[in-house]
Structure formats: structure tokens, C-alpha cells
Structure 1
Amino acid sequence: MHSSGVVEAPAVPGPESHVLDAAAHGVLHVTGTDADRGHADPDRLAVAQGAAFLDALGTAGPGDLARADSDERVLATAQDRPPTAISVARWWGALSAATRERLIASAPAVVGNLDGVPYDVRDRANRTTLDAGLTDDATATAGAESGPTTARTAMLEQVRDALHQEPGEGPRRLVVLDTRGTGRAAVAIGDLASARDVSVVVPGMFFTVTGQMHDFTDTASDLYDEQTAVSALAETRTGRGAPASGDGDGDGSTGVTTGGTAVLAWMGYRTPDMSNILSLGLARTGADRLERVVDGLDAVRGADRPRLNVVAHSYGSTTALMALSSGHMRADSLTVLGSPGSEVQSAAELAVRTGQVYVGDAHSDPIAGSGYFGTDPGSAGFGSTVLDLSADTAGVDTGLFRRPVGHNDYLKPGTASLHDVALIGIGRGDLVRHQARRGQGGDGTAQPLPDMYLLRPQDLQPRD
């Protein structure tokens, strides 16, 4: 929705458009070497923006960087109004190895949160910030018999626990860590730098880093496991050539030659609580941040762009719908679960591949379909594909997967919704069962169960 009140279908920007836009705004100042630059003090860093901010970082010495890394003004620039991801990627690529090491060691809170910096570097920097914060908090309470746990300590402990990896699980990388205020964090399961299929999971209201980061990351890991399993089955049984539902480009891939899957547990914005549950302001801020996440992925991957699926729950769906209707972000598919609606009135307004908007409404979910924040994306005429998840919409359950119940059950292991979201995430939305296309020429009737639902042997066994 533009300020004039006229709804327009957003253009889908390509990577080259980001480069041209960044160049037009003077943020692509990149030099061939980082030697012999002028001295950069913390005050210069505190007021610098765009290319000047990056140049100041590259010329600062270890002492100035260390002071800047705890300066709220510098952190606000790096994390709230950073240079464009493409300019960061080019800047980082032009730095010497010695300068990169100096930045990682002395300014990890800055480097770890700059979209456009390689993900392995961000993980290393953010783990440095995490470990230092836990050590500082432990030192501060040393000697006390039962020192109180501070809010920051509780936040950092949640992030630490979220990074714990059991044998056989996908690798976990900490790609966002902001300890200011209520905090922000994002943990990637799998390799964002090489995965063919990338899913970004956006949480809804009442999710906080301090309260749910560990569980939220485990949920993303469950999705990673399911996607990995069905992706392997798709490769061996059907091949990648089968078309995704409504997609004329084969499997929906974009020419990527790498393999595997990655899931990002993105708690990168403040979600509503009881004090601000009626506001859309947090969704708008979250949409801006989500756009930057995708810009960062594009900047790091370049022409090797993965297939991108956004999975958004509850208020997170409102956030994702805003981002994908802004004209600044695109995705190959969008799956919204338990959505309270948004200002977007049609799938045609979204920068998502045709026929690749999916909606899941569970039985006894009071939020799904409420239209609380605007149009229900599962409503007739929106142009979405509605998943068969409600227990009262089919007379006979297959018994393979249980249908989700309530508002917070969608991505639990053993649910039909988790399996469907995994299929969509690997570009096989054509295989989700009993899907019904609503609006834009569809009659809304359920389709029959596909011949190949990509089942594993363990899927045929009873589940708890």
C-alpha cells in the first residue's frame, strides 16, 4: 500500500538493480587496497554513514575499534541503519586479510551483524561477542553466593543453548546477535553460503530471544531435518524436474548448482507483547529488517542465488507480507501459518513466484483467518493455495501425519503442516496433499492425494 492509497504490484528487483541503486546513492565506494588510509577515531565512526562508515571501520586501529564496538551510536549504525549489503560485500572483499582479522577480533559486534559479510565470518564474530558477554557477566557476579541472573545473561544463555548441536544434526551458525534492549538473534542450520534451498522462518507475537530462542532454533532444525529428508527422496524418486504447483520454471530453482538445504531461525525483530499487540509498527520495522536479510543473502551468493522460501507464523506473516509487497524483496515461495492478515489484498501484490503462496490454518486456531490486521491471505480471491490442515475439513485422515491443533502446533515433528512446509521449501509444493487453490481462476476444490507424497519408512510408523 503506497502513500497515495493505490495498490500496485511491486517490481521484482534483481541483483543488478541493487548494485545500480547503491551506486546511485554513493555507497559503492570501494578501493583496491586498505593500506595507507587516514586515521579513524570513534567519533568519526559514530557519525559516519554508508561508505564513510565502512571506510572508517577499515582504517581504525584495534583500540578505536574496541571502543566503537561498545558505542551505542556505532552499533545503531551497524545494526539499525547499515550500509547496503552489496556495498558491504564489496568492501569486505577489498580488505586485506590482516584488516579483516583486526575487525573480527576488535569489533565483533559490528562485523557480526553487517549483512554482506560472509556467514562463517559473522558466526565467528558473534560467537566472540557471545562468549565475551557470558564471561563478563560471570566475572561481575563472581564471589556472590547467589548472584541474580541479569536480563542480558538470560538472553545470552538462550543463544548459547540454541547453538548446541547434537550428533547428526545440521551445523548451526550464529549470524545475528544484538544484545541491546530485548535483543535480536538469528541462527542458521545448514550452510547459507551454498545451500540450494534456503528457508527463513519468521516468528510471531510473544517470541523473544530471552524466552524462546533455544526452542525456536530447535523448531528450525526440525524443519531442516524434514527438508533434508524429502529433498533426498525427491532426488532419488522423482528428480528435480517435476514442476512446482503453478510454476512454469520446473522445480522453481534459479540455476543454482550447489546442493543441500539451510533454514534460518530469524528472530531479527521485536515481536509484539501485551503492551503493543495492537500496533503494526513492529511489523513495519520487521519488514525492513527482513528485506535486509534477503539483500545480504543476495550479496553473499551473487549469481548463485538459492531458492528462497519464507515461512511466517502469526504476526510474522503480517511482517513477511509487508516485506514481500514493498518492492524491495522477492522470494520463490511464501508459506504463512496462523495468519491474522495484513494490508496486502492479493497474492498478485507479492514479489513471489506465481502460484507459490501457501496458507495453513489449523483446527482450533483462533488467530488463523481472523483478518485482525487486514485481508486474510487464505480468503477466497486472494490467490493462495490453502493447505488441508484443519481436522474437520476431511472425513478420513491418512494416519501418516497428524493435523496441527491450535496456534502453535504448525511446525511440530510428525505434523502434516511440517511435512507440507518442507515440501514447499524444496520447490515441491505440487506434492502437498489436498491443496485447494482459492481465487484467480481456481474453484477452491481439494485436489486428490498425489501418487508420490515423498514418504520415508519411518513416516509409515505410528507417531506420538
Structure 2
Amino acid sequence: MIASLEERYRANSAKLIKDLGSPKSTVKKNAEYVQDALKLARDKRLEPRLFHYDSEVFSQYGRAVITVGTNLEDAECVAFVVPGTTHWIGTISQVTKAALHLYEECKQNPRKGTKKVCVLAWMGYKAPARKSSPGCTTQLMATDGCKHLIADVDFLKKLFTDNKKPMPRLTLSGHSYGSVVVGFAARQKWSESLTGGRSGAQWCDALVLLGSPGAGATTANGLGFNDSVFVGSVDWDPISLLAAYGTDPAHKKFGGRRFKTTCKLAPQDTLMANHKHYFDEKSDSLANIARIVVGDIKGLETVPHRNYTSRLSFDYWWCDWFPEAGFAYPQGWG
């Protein structure tokens, strides 16, 4: 199986080289986006691998999954970074940069910094193209995206099982709409486990929901987890207040473990900037995500849950202070 993984890497690299010389402008440009992302890792003296690459899939929005850090087959801890709305192969450098920040922070963990960590910049699905996209207010893209995520996680599990290696600690982190994809995937695997007559054992070790508009469930238990759903929501992150896909994960009644996400904003930043800094270097958010990835749960800095009681105050705040978002009033508030 490890040989097949190497074959996958070689095939994707060969396709990338071919596409860089393509006469099709979109194909060539998408390949250049991926080449730039790979360079980010190489500039850090790392050897990134192309786990997935297809410049023409998803109506030419493309697909790319890049691994950074320890070789995937040797990792003791594996984390997926799943981005949200407006992301596509053209933003793979942004996703890779987040993965690099996370990998570097994991290596600096004082308790478990010696762990072998691999992080996947997972642009493996077609995300909604913009805030006003119908895909943002339906479940269709998350339903499709979770199938691709499940396939990749199942491949990883089979890789370690077939080679009789200890299963790595597995963390799925989703930002914004990416947290919806992660939640849908966890819920589906848990449902399959129950249908199969088992107890609904956890599919992975931890879920991290960042700036989440909901994860497709009313409680953490609804995702098949008890105490391993971790939530990062900046207080004034407008997307995290939507609760458009189930209960706000930062709310007390959801039952997730909310961690500290303080970030420093520049004076010129808008309210929406609160949604964009979860993977910033030297931030509380990044440090806590890294603690989860390496299993340093005792070192996690937690904060109180949200505990609002009505949606009226939110509607007033949303319409008066963030009208440019283009969203209708959220459904299932609270």
C-alpha cells in the first residue's frame, strides 16, 4: 500500500508538470497555483507531496490536496485543514500556508513537540464560490464534499492497517463552511457505524470547528462524539453566529469544548476580519489547534460557551452592523 501511495504522488507530480505546459489557459493557470503552493513548503525546507491533483475537475475549480511535514505513512499525528466558502484551487496557497503554520506550531508544543506530524491542506471539494452563492444556504456542496473527505480518511486508515502500523492520531479541522463538511462527514460515518450494529465508535480522534456556521447537528453527540469536538469561535466572528446548519457549536447546549481564539486585528480591519485569523502565527487559536492535533488536551486553553437565549438580538445586530454579507436571516437560530 505504501508503494501505491508513492505511485499516487508520482502520478500527480507528472500530471502537474504536464499541465504547466498545457495550451489550455485555465489548466495551466491552475497548475501554476499548485506549483506556487508547493514552493511555500519547499521554502521552509520541507518536501510537500501532492496527495490529490486535478486541474479540471469541479467545472475547472480544480482539486488539490498537499501534505506538509512528516511523510504521511510515518506520521503519529495527522491533521486535515478543510477551508470554506470562496476557496478553490486558486487559493491553495492560502490553505497550504495555514497547514504550514499548524505544522510548525505542533513542532513547538512543549509537551509533545517530538511527535511526527503530517498536515494536509485539503482543497478536496468544490466549495461555495461566494457569500451569496446558493451553495452557502443549502447542504448540497457539504454533502458532496463530505464524501470526498470520507474517502481520503478511509484511504489513510487502510494505509496504516494494511502496513500493520499504529494508527495515527487523526484530527479534522474545518474553517467556516469547511466545518460543515467536517461535521457532515463525522455524522455520516457515525450513522453508518450505528447501522452496522456497532456502538457508533468515533471515526477520528478529534473534530475542530473554526468560525463555524453549524456542523449539521444540534449537539456534539449528534456527530458521534462525546468530548472530542473542539470549537474555536472569536466572539465577534459574524459567520460563527449564523447557526445556519444546526446549533451554534460555541453555544453551551451544543456541548463542544470551546477554546481560546484571541487574535490581533489591525485598525483598518472590518468586522469580517474576525473570521479570518484562526491560523495566524503566534495566535492563541493556532496554539490551541496544535495542542489538539498532538493530543496535548491538558494544555488546552478553554473559554466560556456562548449562552444567548433568543435570535432577536442577533437579527438586529446582523442587519444593522453587517448588511454587506448578503445573507438572509439564518434558520434554526440557537
> 1:67 maps to what in 2?
none
1:436 Cα offset (Å): 4.2
Opposite residue 343 of structure 1, the aligned amino acid is G
User: Which structure has the larger Rg over C-alpha atoms?
Assistant: 1
Question: 1:169 and 1:424 mapped to 2: Cα distance?
Answer: 25
> 2:111 maps to what in 1?
234
> 1:153 maps to what in 2?
28
- Provide the aligned length of Structure 1 versus Structure 2: 278
1:59-98 equivalences under 5 Å are 89=1
1:351 Cα offset (Å): 3.5
Question: 1:121 and 1:351 mapped to 2: Cα distance?
Answer: 34
1:342-361 equivalences under 5 Å are 342-352=215-225, 354-361=226-233
Name the Cα RMSD after superposition: 2.4
> 1:316 maps to what in 2?
178
TM-score (norm 2): 0.77
Opposite residue 139 of structure 2, the aligned amino acid is L
> 2:155 maps to what in 1?
296
Paired-residue identity, %: 30
What's the CA shift string for 1:4-63, capped at 9, x where partnerless?
Answer: xxxxxxxxxxxxxxxxxxxxxxxxxxxxxxxxxxxxxxxxxxxxxxxxxxxxxxxxxxxx
Tell which deviates more after alignment, 125-134 or 429-438: 429-438
State which of 142, 155, 175 in structure 1 corresponds to 2:51.
Answer: 175
Opposite residue 336 of structure 1, the aligned amino acid is L
1:433 Cα offset (Å): 1.6
> 1:207 maps to what in 2?
87
> 2:316 maps to what in 1?
none
Query: What secondary structure is seen at the aligned counterpart in 2 of 1:155?
Result: helix
In the superposition, relative to structure 1, how do residues 214 and 167 fare at CA in structure 2: closer, same or farther (>3 Å)? closer
Query: What secondary structure is seen at the aligned counterpart in 1 of 2:185?
Result: helix
User: Does the Cα contact within 8 Å between 2:182 and 2:215 map onto a contact in 1?
Assistant: no
1:215 Cα offset (Å): 1.9
State which of 121, 124, 127 in structure 1 corresponds to 2:10.
Answer: 124
State which of 182, 187, 196 in structure 2 corresponds to 1:325.
Answer: 187
Which consecutive unaligned segments of at least 5 residues does structure 2 have?
Answer: 193-201, 264-271, 308-334
Q: Does 1:198 align with 2:84?
A: no
Which consecutive unaligned segments of at least 5 residues does structure 1 have?
Answer: 1-88, 94-116, 141-149, 241-258, 392-403, 440-464
TM-score (norm 1): 0.56
User: Does the Cα contact within 8 Å between 1:362 and 1:405 map onto a contact in 2?
Assistant: no
1:195 Cα offset (Å): 0.6
Query: What secondary structure is seen at the aligned counterpart in 2 of 1:298?
Result: helix
What's the CA shift string for 1:286-336, capped at 9, x where partnerless?
Answer: 111111011010111114211001111000111111110112571101111
> 1:41 maps to what in 2?
none
Higher helix share: 2
